[in-house]
């Protein structure tokens, strides 16, 4: 059965229920070779061309752990403020499934490599601390193709085809603790967490974090408890939520679905559900009641990991500035308020504003350009601001020309348009298009006389003391001079000539 989409918004639901979210994220590491063998990890290769006795689970083959994968995992743990285990083991997670060559997954059970960290995310000016329960290392599975029956669905398929190229690619699992107190912001916080996590991972350079290619995959847990009750509700685990937008949609949908059931006095079954990108709906999968007993036990083919302090500190020294730290620093440098900071971050222009300021422009001006005219231009072109054909240095130059009075705001925008259109440099565009503001009286005199001659009635009003009417003449002069005239000077001239 599928639930009809609840039309009620998160805010409404949050008045009756406290949503509690939890996220399990799987990240494929960007190592050259797989977790336990020397096969390549390249995406999109011909099926079963990146396999060997180890990742095919051939009889007799043995795993040997990839040092780079271990180090990446420790670095992720450190970036998420985790404790790094001084001794831990891999474990076998036993269950039969054709995409798992050994019919067990080498993972970590009660001895994860990293534990007890956190990641702060900023939503609507509020900081939410998402606690990380564990970060552990495991191996990815192969890919199964379902043939016949409904398109690509396992249900009703006639048979399936398995490709083991992905089997054995190092997979880091990052599990949060339940996140309380997000209320109506639950969907936004969920999305912000994954967005922030992706930034952290990208900064570390440990994965290409391509959600569309499955190198970053999300499971979203959600439960509702009666507002203020503090009683944990039964949670659903929604699998394959594979875009930032879907994280938000899946949480919103589950809030609606669970609220509907609870409102109707029904109970929520603890189950695995599947998110459907196309419809935005989740549907039930295997319910936990009948889940198999994984019979975890220490992997006898791998010896324990014992990262000593030196090793961990050496890795800590390789950590780049983390997005949060960087934001705080930039905010300080730009003298931005939390709100301005968030709006710049959300618009994806924080780095651009910082670079523009670094190129000599006043921070406020830089922010105004990137959040204003340039954001609008990016919008029109349907691209990220960062992808506009103008550099922060060029924007800084435009701002400088306005500051020194060479360009009016209107001319500055024309200059920006020119750069965007031709890719030429600011000064070149200004020269070529003759974008200079004219303030010399003789040069303007003729244009002013012409404007007065063209509108005698307006001129008469001004002579009669209706100074406000001057605007019409100023506009005419500006038009005649293609915006290059300095409005203030023109106005002065008009008033002189008509007094």
Which parts of 285-304 interact with another protein (CB under 8 A)? 285-286, 290, 292-293, 295-298, 300-304
Binding mask 119-148 for another protein (x = CB under 8 A): -------------------------xxxx-
Residue 310, H or E segment = helix 309-316
Q: Which stretch binds Zn ion (CB under 5 A): 34-42, 134-142, 232-240, 272-280?
A: 34-42
Q: Chain centroid to CA 228: how far?
A: 31
Query: Minimum distance between the CB of residue 93 and another protein, rounded to whole angstroms?
Result: 10
Residue 100 interacts with Zn ion (CB under 5 A)? no
Contact partner, 50, from another protein, Mg ion, Zn ion, none, Cβ < 5-8 Å per class: another protein
Please tell me whether residue 32 binds another protein under the rule CB under 8 A: yes
Stretch that binds Zn ion, among 35-43, 126-134, 398-406, 438-446 (CB under 5 A): 35-43
Measured from the CB atom, the residue of 39 and 350 that comes closer to Zn ion is: 39
Q: Does 365 bind Mg ion (CB under 5 A)?
A: no
Which residues ranging from 67 to 106 are in contact with another protein (CB under 8 A)? 67-70, 87, 89, 92, 94, 96-98, 101-104
Q: Among residues 37 and 366, whose Cβ is nearest to another protein?
A: 37
The least distance separating Mg ion from the CB of residue 50, rounded to whole angstroms, comes to 21
Q: Which of 163, 219, 237, 365 binds another protein (CB under 8 A)?
A: 163
Query: Does 173 participate in binding Mg ion (rule CB under 5 A)?
Result: yes
The answer to whether the beta carbons of residues 466 and 473 sit under 8 Å apart is: no
User: Which one of 4-12, 168-176, 380-388, 428-436 is the stretch in contact with Mg ion (CB under 5 A)?
Assistant: 168-176
* 8 A C-beta contact, residue 255 and residue 186: yes
134 sits in which H/E element: strand 126-139
Nearest-10 crossing angle of helices 456-463, 470-480: 140
**Kind plus residue range of the DSSP H or E element containing 334:** helix 323-334
Instruction: Tell me which of Zn ion, another protein, Mg ion, none is bound by residue 94, counting a contact when its beta carbon lies within the kind-specific cut-off of 5 to 8 angstroms.
Output: another protein
Q: In this chain, which of 12, 26, 48, 195 binds another protein, going by CB under 8 A?
A: 48
- Least CB distance from residue 32 to Mg ion, whole Å? 22
Distance CA 414, CA 430 (A): 9
Residue 320's region, left for phi above 0, alpha for psi from -120 to 50, else beta, is: beta
Burial class (CB in 10 A: 0-12, 13-18, 19+), 208: middle
d(CA 485, CA 128): 52
- Considering only residues 307 to 366 of the shown chain, the ones binding another protein according to CB under 8 A are 307
- Binding positions for Zn ion, 48-77, rule CB under 5 A: 52, 54-55
What are the strands of the beta sheet with 271-276, ordered from one edge?
83-84, 114-123, 126-139, 170-176, 17-28, 216-226, 236-241, 271-276, 281-287
CB-nearer residue toward Mg ion: 173 or 254: 173
Using the contact rule CB under 8 A, the part of the chain among 51-59, 320-328, 342-350, 364-372 near another protein is 51-59
List the beta bridge partners of residue 24: 175, 219
Of the pair 165, 489, the CB lying nearest another protein is at: 165
Residue 87 in contact with residue 306, Cβ under 8 Å? yes
Residue number with CB closer to another protein (59 or 465): 59
Interface with Zn ion includes 334 (CB under 5 A)? no
Residue 173 interacts with, from Mg ion, another protein, Zn ion, none (CB under 5-8 Å by kind): Mg ion
Q: Name residues contacting Zn ion, limited to 294-333 (CB under 5 A).
A: none
User: 245-274: which residues touch another protein (CB under 8 A)?
Assistant: 272, 274
- Separation CA 196–CA 317 (nearest Å): 21
Residue whose C-alpha is closest to residue 327's, from 121, 189, 136, 485? 121
Q: Of the two residues 144 and 225, which places its CB atom closer to another protein in the complex?
A: 144
SS3 label, residue 21: strand
Total site size for Zn ion, rule CB under 5 A: 5
Instruction: Restricting to residues 281-320, name those near Mg ion by CB under 5 A.
Output: none
The two beta strands, 236-241 and 271-276, are parallel
> Distance between CA 316 and CA 39 in Å, rounded?
28
Does residue 7 come out as left (phi exceeding 0), alpha (psi in the -120 to 50 range) or beta?
alpha
Residues that bind Zn ion (CB under 5 A): 37, 39, 52, 54-55
Residues that bind Mg ion (CB under 5 A): 173
């Amino acid at each position: 059965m599928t639930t009809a989409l609840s039309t009620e918004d998160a805010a409404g639901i949050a008045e009756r229920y406290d949503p509690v979210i939890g996220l399990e994220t799987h990240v494929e590491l960007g190592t050259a070779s797989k977790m336990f063998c020397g096969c390549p990890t390249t995406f999109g290769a011909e099926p079963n061309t990146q396999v060997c006795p180890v990742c095919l689970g051939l009889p007799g083959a043995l795993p040997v752990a990839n040092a780079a994968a271990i180090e990446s995992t420790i670095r992720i743990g450190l970036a998420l403020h985790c404790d790094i285990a001084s001794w831990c083991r891999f474990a076998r997670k036993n269950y039969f499934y054709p995409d798992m060559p050994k019919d067990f997954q080498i993972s970590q059970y009660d001895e994860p490599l990293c534990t007890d960290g956190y990641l702060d995310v900023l939503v609507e000016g509020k900081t939410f601390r998402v606690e990380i329960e564990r970060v552990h290392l495991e191996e990815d599975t192969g890919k199964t193709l379902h043939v016949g029956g409904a398109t690509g669905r396992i249900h009703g398929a006639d048979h399936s085809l398995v490709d083991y190229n992905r089997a054995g690619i190092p997979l880091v699992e990052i599990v949060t603790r339940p996140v309380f107190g997000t209320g109506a912001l639950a969907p936004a916080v969920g999305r912000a967490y994954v967005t922030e996590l992706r930034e952290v991972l990208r900064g570390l350079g440990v994965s290409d974090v391509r959600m569309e290619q499955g190198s970053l995959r999300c499971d979203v847990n959600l439960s509702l408890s009666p507002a203020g009750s503090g009683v944990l509700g039964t949670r659903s685990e929604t699998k394959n939520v594979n875009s930032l937008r879907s994280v938000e949609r899946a949480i919103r949908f589950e809030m609606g679905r669970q609220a509907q059931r609870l409102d109707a006095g029904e109970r929520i079954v603890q189950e695995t559900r599947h998110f459907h990108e196309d419809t935005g709906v989740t549907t039930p999968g295997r319910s936990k009641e009948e889940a198999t007993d994984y019979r975890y036990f220490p992997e006898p083919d791998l010896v324990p990991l014992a990262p000593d302090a030196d090793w961990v500190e050496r890795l800590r020294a390789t950590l780049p500035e983390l997005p949060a730290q960087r934001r705080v620093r930039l905010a300080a440098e730009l003298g931005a308020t939390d709100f301005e900071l968030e709006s710049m971050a959300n618009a994806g222009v924080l780095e651009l504003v910082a670079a523009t300021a670094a190129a000599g422009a006043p921070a406020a001006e830089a922010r105004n350009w990137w959040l204003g005219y340039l954001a609008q231009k990016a919008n029109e072109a349907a691209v990220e601001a960062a992808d506009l054909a103008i550099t922060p240095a060029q924007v800084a130059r435009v701002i400088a020309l306005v500051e020194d009075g060479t360009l009016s705001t209107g001319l500055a925008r024309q200059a920006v348009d020119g750069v965007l259109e031709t890719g030429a440099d600011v000064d070149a565009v200004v020269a070529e298009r003759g974008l200079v503001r004219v303030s010399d009286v003789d040069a303007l005199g003729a244009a002013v006389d012409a404007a007065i001659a063209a509108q005698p009635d307006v001129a008469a009003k001004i002579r009669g003391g209706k100074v406000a009417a001057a605007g019409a003449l100023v506009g005419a002069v500006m038009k005649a001079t293609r915006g290059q005239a300095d409005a203030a000077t023109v106005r002065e001239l008009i008033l002189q000539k008509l007094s």
